[in-house]
């Protein structure tokens, strides 16, 4: 139990407990939602390229199964632990319920440093991890997807390992796969597209300009780069952006199309033309209209929250704002679009991919984007409407809806045995 009770997990629990009071959640149901349904800890000996064997620790957590099979990404990071994975699984439960997807929340991870590993080492690690968690996953049980430092190739290895065990191709075991293996068009850009879409929606509701605003993006991975590109295309000024190596700043705006090409050529955004190099701490505190943290969790804390100088925070990462920082930012009048809403485009299009795999019938990219926009608009309308009716912030409104739907499923199904 002690391994579970990390600061990140306690943060997720506190958010649940706070919203439980607002929706008058029964104590018995709250008790069932405070902890994950299943947690698996595995050790994985892997032969490295130098011939030596190294053991890695891996995790897979299923938070809740009341609304369907569980769904959630797999991340590779030196910071991965059971508490972080359990917190992310809990947030995924609320996210799926908020979007009305027939899933519960799950998450997985391996404690490793992928930047120091070869492709062969990563493949052997992935296949061993898949073998260890194989009893937990499956198209009707638990469907993994990419997350931090995992990608289409990782999902292909998982699908192949799982399919070889059963003796035939089972594409529905994971989402975020290559198109040639049953992946969905529009999946790669879905999370970043959803962040940009949610941000534009809130700008309209707040009566702010639909273009020409100053935007700061922390993180230039799949989510941050796509969100930046979409907002750049809408006419906003991306004045600063960062990756794992540091950030760049140009008060007149950065050409994101050129930056993407530069990143592909160099592997970094540092020293990009007509921009100054800055560190991530400076980036978060820059004066701007919109701040989009798309890197890791817990980057906005009680220490730096008072220094933030933005009007809107759109959470591209999971849990980038701590509860203590939340209170400070609300007092400053900063609007926060919570991660369970802002970055829900990824799991939504993952759901579309799962449906297409089961049906063996695939959609065009326009169909995928249109369906995503419809679901996002419906959910944004619900969250914004409830926030206005109950005079609560967007995070609280989103949590009230998500937790409320899971709680209702618990009531309807009862407690077994």
Give residue-wise pLDDT tens across range 108-155: 999 999 999 999 999 999 999 999 999 999 999 999 999 989 999 999
H/E element, 180: none
Q: How confident is the model at residue 289 (pLDDT cuts 50, 70, 90)?
A: very high
Return d(Cα 376, Cα 242) in angstroms, integer. 27
Q: How confident is the model at residue 244 (pLDDT cuts 50, 70, 90)?
A: confident
**Residue 245: C-alpha distances to residues 2, 279, 307, 324, 397 (Å):** 33, 9, 23, 28, 36
Domains 7-169 and 190-342 share a fold: yes
Give the active site residue among 71, 107, 177, 410.
107
Token pair 């997990």 in the structure block, residue: 9
Look at residue 297 and tell me whether its pLDDT is greater than 80: no
Look at residue 299 and tell me whether its pLDDT is greater than 70: yes
- State mean pLDDT over 28-38: 96
Task: Specify the 3-state DSSP secondary structure of 24.
Answer: coil
Give the full edge-to-edge strand order of the sheet including 276-278. 276-278, 246-249, 237-243, 214-218, 290-293, 312-314, 335-337
Look at residue 24 and tell me whether its pLDDT is greater than 70: yes
Helix axes 119-133, 152-166, angle to 10 degrees: 50
pLDDT tens readout for residues 365-406: 999 999 999 999 999 999 999 999 999 999 999 999 999 999
Q: How confident is the model at residue 295 (pLDDT cuts 50, 70, 90)?
A: confident
- State mean pLDDT over 16-26: 96
Query: Which 3-state string (H, E, C) describes 328-344?
Result: HHHHCCCEEECHHHHCC
Q: Which CATH superfamily is 190-342 part of?
A: NAD(P)-binding Rossmann-like Domain (3.40.50.720)
Q: How confident is the model at residue 245 (pLDDT cuts 50, 70, 90)?
A: confident
Return d(Cα 43, Cα 192) in angstroms, integer. 33
Task: Specify the 3-state DSSP secondary structure of 246.
Answer: strand
Task: Specify the 3-state DSSP secondary structure of 186.
Answer: coil
Q: How confident is the model at residue 274 (pLDDT cuts 50, 70, 90)?
A: confident
Contact, 210 vs 204, CB < 8 A? yes
Architecture of domain 7-169: 3-Layer(aba) Sandwich (3.40)
Terminal C-alpha separation, the chain: 24
**Residue 386: C-alpha distances to residues 90, 94, 389, 392 (Å):** 22, 16, 5, 8
Token pair 């972080």 in the structure block, residue: 84
Q: Is 95 a catalytic residue?
A: no
Look at residue 57 and tell me whether its pLDDT is greater than 70: yes
Count of Cβ atoms closer than 10 Å to residue 224 Cβ: 24
The whole-number pLDDT of residue 205 equals: 96
Look at residue 2 and tell me whether its pLDDT is greater than 80: no
Q: pTM score, two decimals?
A: 0.94
Return d(Cα 283, Cα 228) in angstroms, integer. 15
Contact, 150 vs 74, CB < 8 A? yes
- State mean pLDDT over 43-51: 97
H/E element, 26: none
Domain ranges across the chain: 7-169, 190-342
- Name the token pair of 206: 């707040």
> Residues in the chain, how many?
417
Average pLDDT in the chain: 95
Look at residue 1 and tell me whether its pLDDT is greater than 70: no
Return d(Cα 357, Cα 42) in angstroms, integer. 29
- State mean pLDDT over 205-231: 94
Return d(Cα 187, Cα 365) in angstroms, integer. 9
């Amino acid at each position: 139990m002690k391994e579970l009770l990390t600061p990140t997990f306690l943060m997720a629990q506190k958010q649940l407990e706070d919203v439980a009071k607002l929706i008058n959640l029964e104590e018995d149901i709250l008790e069932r939602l405070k902890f994950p349904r299943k947690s698996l800890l595995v050790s994985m000996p892997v032969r490295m390229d130098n011939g030596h064997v190294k053991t890695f620790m891996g995790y897979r957590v299923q938070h809740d199964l009341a609304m369907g099979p569980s769904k959630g990404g797999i991340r590779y990071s030196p910071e991965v632990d059971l508490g972080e994975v359990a917190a992310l699984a809990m947030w995924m439960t609320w996210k799926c319920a908020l979007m009305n997807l027939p899933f519960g929340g799950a998450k997985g991870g391996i404690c490793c440093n992928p930047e120091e590993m070869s492709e062969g080492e990563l493949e052997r690690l992935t296949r061993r991890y898949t073998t260890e968690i194989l009893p937990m996953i499956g198209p009707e049980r638990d469907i993994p997807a990419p997350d931090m430092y995992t990608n289409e190739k990782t999902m292909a290895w998982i699908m192949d390992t799982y399919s070889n065990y059963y003796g035939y191709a089972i594409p529905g075991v994971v989402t975020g796969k290559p198109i040639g293996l049953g992946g969905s068009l529009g999946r790669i850009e879905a999370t970043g597209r959803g962040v940009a879409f949610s941000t534009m929606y809130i700008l309209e509701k707040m009566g702010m300009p639909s273009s020409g605003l100053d935007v700061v993006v922390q993180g230039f991975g799949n989510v941050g780069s796509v969100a930046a590109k979409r907002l750049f295309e809408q006419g906003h000024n991306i004045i600063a952006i960062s990756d794992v190596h540091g950030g760049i700043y140009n008060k007149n705006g950065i050409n994101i199309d050129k930056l993407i090409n530069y990143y592909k050529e160099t592997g970094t955004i540092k020293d990009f033309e007509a921009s100054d190099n800055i560190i991530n701490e400076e980036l978060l505190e820059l004066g701007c209209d919109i701040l989009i943290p798309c890197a890791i969790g817990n980057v906005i804390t009680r220490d730096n929250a008072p220094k933030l100088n933005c009007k809107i925070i759109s959470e591209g990462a999971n849990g980038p704002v701590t509860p203590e920082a939340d209170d400070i930012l609300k007092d400053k009048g900063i609007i926060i679009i919570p991660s369970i809403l802002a970055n829900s485009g990824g799991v939504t299009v993952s759901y579309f991919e799962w449906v297409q795999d089961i049906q063996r019938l695939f959609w065009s990219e326009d169909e995928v984007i249109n369906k995503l926009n419809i679901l996002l608009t419906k959910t944004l309308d619900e969250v914004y409407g409830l926030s206005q009716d109950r005079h609560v912030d967007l995070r609280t409104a989103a949590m009230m809806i998500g937790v409320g739907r899971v709680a209702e499923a618990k009531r309807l199904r009862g407690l077994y045995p």
